């Protein structure tokens, strides 16, 4: 398998995009980039800087500070200005505002530029919302992931519970529904399936089964 492959994994929230992308990167010896973590990092920065208060995003405040944001990936996940923040970006406070933050055109332009530089030579698996449509429209393989809303909410609930975070299942389900709507309706780079993407509904698939599903597609391509 070529190490210059570019694989784009897009889809709805809590469909396991990051899990699949990591699996593929490991199996195929490619780099992995979690683009969603980058938008979460910007949202966290906005919360810390006072650009986001009571779930209200001050876009002008955030845009003015974009040049002060440095993002990179390392052994502990994503780093914001040198600080490992992987745990902090998975909070409900970030969940509630990340879609709005990601709808800001200036934020998207900055992060898309970063993402394209990370994958300029190929050899990367990247997951997100607009990877196959905007970031890497000529990716060698595009996967669009989906799953039943109730299953996605339950998965997210179990994930947070395992981390010791107490959040009601109903709150999670509403958050996922809101995020999907915002991501699909935003004017700049909305969440949608690329014309040449393969759709993967993993509602009834294990992690191992979904990995083999994609590997089978690659082997027959």
Residues 6 or more apart in contact with residue 161 via CB below 8 angstroms: none
pLDDT tens digits, 163-199: 888 889 999 999 999 988 888 988 888 889 999 999 9
* Predicted pLDDT at 208: 94
* Predicted pLDDT at 179: 86
In which band, very low, low, confident or very high, does the pLDDT at 33 lie, cut at 50, 70 and 90?
very high
The CA distance from 146 to 67, in Å, is: 34
* Predicted pLDDT at 105: 95
The CA distance from 199 to 141, in Å, is: 11
The CA distance from 147 to 189, in Å, is: 21
Q: Does domain 6-220 have CATH number 3.40.50.300?
A: yes
Q: CA dist 105 to 66, 170, 172, 180, 198, Å? A: 12, 31, 26, 18, 27
Whole-structure pTM value = 0.87
Please give the sequence-ordered ranges of beta strands (E in DSSP) within 27-136, or none if there are none: 31-34, 52-53, 56-57, 71-74, 77-80, 83-84, 124-128
State how beta strands 52-53 and 56-57 pair: antiparallel
Question: In this model, does residue 221 exceed pLDDT 70?
Answer: no
* Predicted pLDDT at 38: 97
């Amino acid at each position: 398998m070529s190490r210059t492959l570019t694989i784009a994994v897009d889809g709805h929230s809590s469909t396991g995009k990051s899990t699949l992308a990591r699996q593929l990167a490991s199996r195929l010896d490619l780099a992995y980039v979690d683009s969603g973590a980058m938008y979460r990092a910007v949202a966290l920065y906005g919360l810390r800087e006072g650009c986001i208060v009571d779930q209200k995003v001050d876009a002008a405040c955030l845009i003015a500070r974009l040049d002060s944001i440095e993002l990179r990936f390392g052994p502990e996940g994503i780093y914001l200005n040198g600080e490992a923040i992987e745990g902090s970006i998975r909070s409900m406070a970030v969940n509630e505002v990340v879609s709005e933050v990601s709808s800001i055109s200036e934020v998207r332009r900055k992060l898309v530029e970063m993402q394209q530089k990370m994958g300029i030579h190929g050899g990367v698996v990247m997951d997100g919302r607009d990877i196959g449509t905007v970031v890497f429209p000529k990716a060698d393989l595009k996967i669009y992931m989906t799953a039943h809303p109730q299953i996605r909410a339950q998965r997210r609930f179990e994930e947070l519970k395992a981390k010791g975070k107490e959040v009601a299942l109903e709150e999670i389900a509403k958050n996922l529904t809101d995020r999907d709507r915002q991501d699909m309706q935003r004017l700049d780079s909305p969440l949608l399936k690329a014309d040449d993407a393969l759709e993967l509904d993993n509602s009834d698939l294990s992690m191992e089964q979904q990995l083999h599903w994609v590997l089978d597609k690659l082997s027959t391509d």
